[in-house]
Amino acid sequence: METSCRICSGPVKASIDLGDQPRGNAFPKSGELTDEFFYRLLVGMCDSCAMVQLMADIPQEVRYHDQYPYRASNSSVHSAHFTGVARRLMATELTGHDPFIVEIGCNDGVMLATIADSGVRHLGVEPSQEVAALARSKGIRILSRFFDEETASDIRAEHGPADAIFGANVIAHISHLDSVLKGVRTLLGPDGVFVFEEPYLGAVVEQTAFDLLYDEHSFVFSVSSIHAAARLFGLELVDAEPLAIHGGSMRYTLAQRGARPPAPAVADLLATERAQRLDQHATLEEFARRAERVRDDLTTLLRELRADGKRVAGYGAPAKITTVTNYCGIGTDLIPYVCDSTPAKQDRVVAGSHIPVVPPSVFLEDRPDYAVLFAWNHAEEIMAKESGFTGRWIVYVPEVRII
């Protein structure tokens, strides 16, 4: 299968096939399983700009419904991270007279709360009503819309140019990224910056983190592809900084072209990516073969444990669990339930695989022999919280292991 690139219209060939998948964050109620939406999860790379992207087109409105269950503030590690981001932006970028910051997809306000508390002019652009209401309750000013070219020019007309535009774990979600970049060019002041943090292709490939591929992740960015995309829209990549968050992310800083000299990290990371062949189809094809091995190892292990009469549960129901369980064919026969601290996910099931999501208290009482850690990017926090767990943890990133 071949499609055309969402950024530059170049040819995109499918290199990874994770089968028929439902929406990662659908979490239907068990009474609502008849009309589940499925699409083919194919991922490819553009021949021209090296952008790694989902081949299927899933409408935004289908994905970010009003009950979008993700709550960015649920993890204390992430909350601390975003407080740090806010402080740093205030210290480095929001220093002029009456500065203005816009956050694209501010979720429950985990970052903007610190900005709002400091009295800095801000606007959170958040189309999901429930999380937007949470952000509003923290005193954050919200515009309930999708960010695109039109939204950007409306914001500029009402508030003036932005000194900073921020986005975390949202920019790679937006399939109309071309319109977002046009909007950034419109809204950003002459010396403004667009800073965004997203899961990094290098980390995804290195860890065989195939579960980071799901409907919401329209793209997996690399320094090479963002460097190319920025140029196409009159912007420039002026800095890139690797982050440990979400299992390996990158923070990109874009500016108006020519406004700031690029930091040495940009050229360094571009050279590293070339050496790692991150811009080659063959790299994705090898990744797909490693994902097959993880699938086979994980299902073999779970079947053996079942045959031995061991009790296995799942821990954490991130959107990633949908990809893993559906790709591997893991259902309630192998994992009868998964616990998650998010109330909006509880009393629901994982889409497609129909594994029930229960509160962590069930896990505490049930004392299973093994727990598959689906929220592997929060391993430290979860293992510390569950230090009383006497069973063993099963992880599958970067390979299947019992710890």
- Would you tell me which residues interact with ligand TMP (CB under 6 A)? 74-75, 316-318, 340-342, 345, 375, 377-378, 381-382, 385
> Is the Cβ of residue 46 or residue 220 nearer to Zn ion in the bound state?
46
> Which has the closest alpha carbon to 259: 239, 238, 233?
238
Return the one option of ligand TMP, Zn ion, none that residue 318 interacts with (CB less than 5 to 8 A, by type): ligand TMP
Residue 49 interacts with, from Zn ion, ligand TMP, none (CB under 5-8 Å by kind): Zn ion
- Residue among 372 and 375 whose Cβ is closer to ligand TMP: 375
Nearest CA-CA partner of 63 in 102, 20, 27, 14: 27
User: Residue 123 or residue 135: which is nearer to ligand TMP going by CB?
Assistant: 135
DSSP helix/strand/coil, 136? helix
Which of ligand TMP, Zn ion, none binds 381 (CB below 5-8 Å, type-dependent)? Answer: ligand TMP
Task: Quote the least distance from Cβ 103 to ligand TMP, whole Å.
Answer: 18
277 binds, among Zn ion, ligand TMP, none (CB under 5 to 8 A by kind): none
SS3 of 392, please?
strand
129 binds, among ligand TMP, Zn ion, none (CB under 5 to 8 A by kind): none
Q: How far is CA 397 from CA 88, 207, 219, 247, 376, in A?
A: 31, 6, 20, 10, 8
Query: Which C-beta is closer to Zn ion: that of 153 or that of 283?
Result: 283
Across the chain, how many H-helices and E-strands are there?
A: 13, 19
Positive/negative CA dihedral, 31, 72, 245, 201: positive
Is 7 a residue that touches Zn ion (CB under 5 A)? Answer: yes
Task: Specify whether the backbone of 325 is left (phi greater than 0), alpha (psi in -120 to 50) or beta.
Answer: alpha
Shortest distance in whole angstroms from residue 391 CB to Zn ion: 46
Which residue do the tokens 């695109």 mark? 148
Least distance to ligand TMP, CB of residue 33, Å: 20
- CB distance 350 to 292 below 8 Å: no
Least distance from Zn ion to the Cβ atom of residue 284, Å = 14
Q: Two tokens at 242? A: 């690797």
Kindly give, in sequence order, each residue whose CB lies less than 8 Å from that of residue 367, ignoring residues fewer than 6 positions away.
Answer: 389, 390, 391
DSSP state of 261: P
Residue closer to Zn ion, measured from CB, 45 or 140: 45
Closest to ligand TMP by CB, 58 vs 362, is: 362
Provide the CB-side half-sphere exposure for 75 (13 A, CA).
20
From Zn ion, ligand TMP, none, which one binds at residue 8 (CB under 5 to 8 Å depending on kind)?
Zn ion
C-beta closer to ligand TMP: residue 178 or 340: 340
State the binding partner of 46 from ligand TMP, Zn ion, none, CB within 5 to 8 A by kind. Answer: Zn ion
Task: Return d(Cα 362, Cα 365) in angstroms, integer.
Answer: 5
Closest CB to ligand TMP among residues 48, 341:
341
Shortest separation between residue 388's beta carbon and Zn ion, angstroms? 50
Nearest to 14 by CA among 47, 45, 38, 35: 45
Residue nearest to ligand TMP (CB): 318
Question: Cα-flanking dihedrals φ and ψ of residue 169, to 5°?
Answer: 55, 40
What minimum distance in Å lies between the beta carbon of 306 and Zn ion? 45
Q: Which is nearer to ligand TMP, 56 or 245 (CB)?
A: 245
CB 143 within 8 A of CB 124: yes
Question: Do residues 181 and 223 make contact, with C-beta atoms less than 8 angstroms apart?
Answer: no
192: enclosing H helix or E strand: strand 188-199
**Taking the complex as a whole, how short is the minimal distance between the CB of residue 225 and Zn ion, in angstroms?**
8
The one of ligand TMP, Zn ion, none whose footprint includes residue 375, by CB under 5 to 8 A per kind, is ligand TMP
Q: Using CA atoms, how far apart are residues 281 and 302, in angstroms rounded to an integer?
A: 32
List binders of Zn ion among 34-73 (CB under 5 A): 46, 48-49, 51
Per CB under 5 A, contacts with Zn ion among 140-159 are none
Minimum Å gap between C-beta 75 and ligand TMP is: 4
Q: Which residues bind Zn ion (CB under 5 A)?
A: 5, 7-8, 10, 46, 48-49, 51
